[in-house]
Amino acid sequence: MTKPATSPYLSLRQAVRPAIFAHQLLAGEAERAGKLAAECEELLLLTRELLKATGQARILGPEPGALGGLGGLGGLGGLGGLGGLGGLGGAAGEHGADRRARLVDAYADAGLAWAKVVGSSMALGRALIEAGDTEDARRLAGFLAGAGEESAAADLQAELGKAVWEAHQEQLKGISNEMPPEEIEKSIKALQAVLLEVPKDLNQEVNRLLVPLAASIHAIMRQRDIEIPYTSRVEHIAAGGVAKYPDIVTISLDEIAAEFEGLC
């Protein structure tokens, strides 16, 4: 049996998740059409609706500050759940009951409005990815995470990572231990782009590609009779010295890139 959430705030966030998913499906048609401008207009309109609904809930609230203001909209955190409804108990007769009902409706409107905002944001993110605008897609994922929607942000980041990996796949497939300098440079840039976006569980795959990349650089050093300094890590990486440490793959790639830059 699932333990009920102890916080009304968490209950409200859980309640709107199906609505988020439903709105993503509805927004899918426009997303597939690639209409970035239309997606942006939709998101702005939905955000305005959210602010109106949240403001209505605040106005109807039992006391100033009970809803936490409009500054904490992330994941509807600023709404504080339905716990503050008890403060309306002192209102008399039909007026009190009507005000209570209106406040409940305002909370519901705000919850659904937030669901639409998140769903529309996801659709916009996918359209950005399709358009190759990875930087803005990454920024949008960051906004979602900052708003408390970590799951939606992780989904968008995973889609972004997959798209970036596929975009550089041919270059990555061509990485070998006998590459000319121009191909080494392209491979380094491709790996740097991939590491910026892909989930950490793909670090092992990227780490595997560092071995032939470093081997190519080491081969050029020997061909040019370049004295390899004691501090060089290229030979160590080419021998598979960091194969078991995918957590330092970014550092290893930076070291390879720095040593290669010194050759050019």
Asked if residue 83 lies in contact with residue 8, where contact means CB atoms within 8 angstroms, the answer is: yes
Summarised one tens digit per residue, pLDDT across range 128-149 is: 898 888 888 888 888 888 888 8
What pLDDT does 51 receive? 67
**Tokens (6 digits) for 48:** 């305005």
Question: What DSSP letter does each residue of 6-67 carry, written as one string?
Answer: SSHHHHHHHHHHHHHHHHHHHHHHHHHHT-HHHHHHHHHHHHHHHHHHHHHHHHHSSSTTTT
Over residues 239-261, the mean pLDDT reads: 84
Q: Tokens 């890590």 map to which residue?
A: 233
Among 25-29, 32-36, 113-117, 208-212, the range of highest mean pLDDT: 208-212
Q: Percent of the chain beyond pLDDT 70?
A: 64
Q: Is the pLDDT of residue 5 over 60?
A: no
Top pLDDT among 181 and 121 is at 181
- Distance, in Å, from the CA atom of 93 to the CA atom of 116, rounded to the nearest integer, reads 35
